């Protein structure tokens, strides 16, 4: 075997193990992969390769005795096969003939410099230096290169700067096919259909469903775990994109007393602020619900747990669309039944929650959220992009758990269940809804009566009565029945 270049690391095992402990791991149990690799090392790091491409080793050898001569730092980068040796005579034997090293550097030798390159550690003229950015915040990578990219980057920073290259490390898994196998580029052709579409070819999937939908799917992978690809998950991302756009359209239509028929999102009047304590129970409930998820998602993101953040955001998004919007839309469709103050309360809540939802979804759906921000919020907020605005904030000081709304939602979901059982369309108006508080008591009956108008509107019934009913028993102890 030809002579090779090495970096000695076998005598640094204890130091490297200490570095592994300094790192904050997400997920924490992935640390064992680096520890096992360090303890199992049997060879030093071979950094030279015999290839025809790569970063040249800036070294010349004396043709007579083989002594190495190194390039001067100010001459880098340099190819020793194309440039003359920087010394005219060998310092050992005085020989004047030199041969450039034909080897190139191992790929990991150069990629392990990424944190140092990004902070301009070498002080390259013309580049912005950012020593305050080093050590960097986080390394994002998959688990299979913990023993290479992560390991070698730690070695390089340890030797060059005496520190870690970053504070945290976030380890993802792989995207696999439906059968749990690796999606290989060499196997892609067999999945192309007659129209030329391939469900595993990213550009084709983006053209069909949009970049936001693909990104949404990718964000569903939990740290440290593989995730199987299924086109239905991408379709679900597309569904959320469309629903978010339609939600924004609905909200903008309600921002003024009178508005023409409108089929696209447009900038309009910004609703007047309404103190939370003066809003209806339904409005205080949704602000509290969204505000709680704002905080929960922030906690998840601080732990790089984007998958759980997405799940929490999805849940409140569908609660907002399926429950809250269904409850309040009647305020704008049948204005004679509601006071101006009630409608103003709904407008303020719709607007605040829509803005919060755009901020929550921005990391997952960057394009549709940016478009909606530009149309609806940039003029009033001033920031050039939603992606440079602060994390959403909602005043939830008065948005405690609202008992009346809990009961309202229980009735609404029970009615939906009855409609499904009896195969009655959810949009068809019912003749009557019968509610029996039963053992829940008079207090529950009183709370329900205060929500009668909202129950009637959201359940789509002409009349709400309170009598004995035994068709459905809800978790709150309520019994409900419906008549067509």
158-172, 287-301, 405-419, range with the lowest pLDDT: 405-419
pLDDT at 467: 67
pLDDT at 439: 59
Percent of the chain with pLDDT over 70: 91
Nearest to 250 by CA among 320, 338, 337: 320
pLDDT at 475: 46
Give the residue-averaged pLDDT of 6-30. 96
pLDDT at 437: 67
Give the residue-averaged pLDDT of 351-374. 97
pLDDT at 212: 97
Tens of pLDDT along 80-130?
999 999 999 998 999 999 999 999 999 999 999 999 999 998 888 888 777
| Measured CA distances, 303 to 135, 143, 435 (Å) | 18, 17, 45
CA 471 to mean position of chain CA atoms: 43
pLDDT at 401: 57
Nearest to 134 by CA among 145, 122, 144: 122
pLDDT at 130: 78
Three-class SS state of 99: strand
Phi, psi of 214 (to 5 degrees): -70, -45
Tens of pLDDT along 434-474?
777 665 555 566 667 777 788 777 778 787 777 655 554 45
- The residue among 414 and 159 whose pLDDT is bigger is 159
Q: Are 64 and 95 in contact (CB under 8 A)?
A: yes
pLDDT at 266: 75
- The residue among 216 and 281 whose pLDDT is bigger is 216
Nearest to 445 by CA among 411, 472, 412, 414: 411
Give the residue-averaged pLDDT of 45-53. 93
**The two structure tokens encoding residue 247:** 């939600």
Give the residue-averaged pLDDT of 66-85. 93
Measure the CA–CA gap between 64 and 43, rounded to whole angstroms: 30
Structure-token match 């704008």, residue found: 332
pLDDT surpassing 90 at residue 290: yes
pLDDT at 287: 94
Give the residue-averaged pLDDT of 240-260. 84
Question: Average pLDDT over the chain, rounded to whole?
Answer: 88
Measure the CA–CA gap between 135 and 131, rounded to whole angstroms: 8
Cβ contacts of residue 374 below 8 Å, gap of 6+? Answer: none
Nearest to 404 by CA among 277, 278, 285, 279: 285
**Strongest mean pLDDT among 24-33, 418-427, 446-455:** 24-33
For the full predicted model, state whether its pTM sits above 0.75: yes
Measure the CA–CA gap between 216 and 240, rounded to whole angstroms: 9
Percent of the chain with pLDDT over 90: 59
CA angle, corner 153, sides to 152 and 154, nearest 5?
A: 90
Three-class SS state of 444: helix
pLDDT at 367: 98
pLDDT at 405: 80
pLDDT surpassing 80 at residue 28: yes
CA 391 to mean position of chain CA atoms: 13
pLDDT surpassing 50 at residue 187: yes
């Amino acid at each position: 075997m030809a002579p090779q270049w090495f970096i000695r690391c076998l005598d640094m095992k204890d130091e490297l193990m200490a570095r592994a402990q300094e790192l904050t791991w997400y997920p924490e149990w992935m640390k064992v992969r680096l520890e096992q690799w360090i303890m199992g090392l049997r060879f030093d790091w071979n950094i030279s390769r015999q290839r025809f491409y790569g970063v040249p080793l800036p070294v010349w050898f004396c043709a007579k005795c083989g002594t190495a001569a190194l390039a001067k730092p100010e001459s880098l980068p340099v190819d020793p096969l194309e440039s003359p040796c920087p010394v005219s005579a060998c310092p050992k034997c005085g020989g004047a003939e030199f041969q450039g090293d034909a080897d190139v550097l191992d790929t990991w030798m150069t990629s392990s410099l990424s944190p140092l390159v990004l902070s301009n550690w070498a002080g390259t003229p013309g580049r912005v230096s950012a020593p305050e950015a080093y050590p960097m915040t986080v390394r994002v990578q998959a688990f299979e290169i913990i023993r290479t990219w992560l390991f070698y980057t730690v070695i390089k920073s340890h030797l060059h700067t005496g520190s870690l290259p970053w504070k945290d490390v976030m380890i993802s898994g792989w995207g696999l096919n439906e059968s749990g196998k690796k999606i290989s580029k060499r196997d892609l052709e067999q999945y192309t259909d007659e129209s030329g579409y391939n469900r595993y070819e990213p550009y084709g999937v983006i053209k069909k469903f949009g970049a936001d939908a693909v990104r949404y799917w990718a964000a569903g992978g939990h740290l440290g775990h593989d995730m199987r690809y299924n086109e239905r998950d991408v379709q679900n991302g597309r569904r959320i994109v469309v629903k978010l756009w339609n939600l924004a359209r609905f909200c903008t239509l309600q921002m003024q007393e009178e508005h023409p028929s409108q089929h696209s999102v447009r900038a309009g009047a910004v609703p007047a602020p309404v103190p939370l304590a003066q809003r209806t129970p339904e409005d205080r409930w949704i602000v509290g619900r969204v505000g709680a998820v704002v905080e929960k998602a922030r906690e998840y993101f601080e732990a790089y747990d984007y998958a759980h953040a997405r799940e929490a955001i999805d849940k409140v998004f569908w609660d907002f669309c399926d429950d809250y919007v269904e409850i309040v839309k009647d305020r704008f469709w049948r204005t004679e039944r509601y006071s101006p103050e009630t409608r103003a309360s709904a407008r303020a809540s719709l607007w605040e929650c829509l803005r919060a939802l755009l901020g929550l979804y921005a990391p997952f759906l960057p394009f549709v959220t940016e478009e909606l921000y530009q149309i609806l919020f940039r003029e009033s907020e001033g920031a050039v992009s939603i992606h440079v605005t602060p994390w959403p904030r909602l005043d939830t000081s008065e948005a405690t758990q609202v008992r009346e709304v809990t009961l309202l939602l229980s009735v609404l979901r029970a009615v939906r269940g009855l409609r499904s059982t009896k195969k009655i369309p959810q949009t068809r108006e019912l003749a009557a809804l019968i509610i029996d508080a039963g053992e829940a008591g008079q207090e529950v009956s009183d709370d329900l009566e205060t929500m009668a108008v909202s129950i009637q509107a959201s359940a789509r019934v002409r009349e709400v009565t309170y009598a004995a009913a035994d068709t459905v028993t809800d978790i709150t102890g309520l019994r409900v029945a419906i008549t067509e």
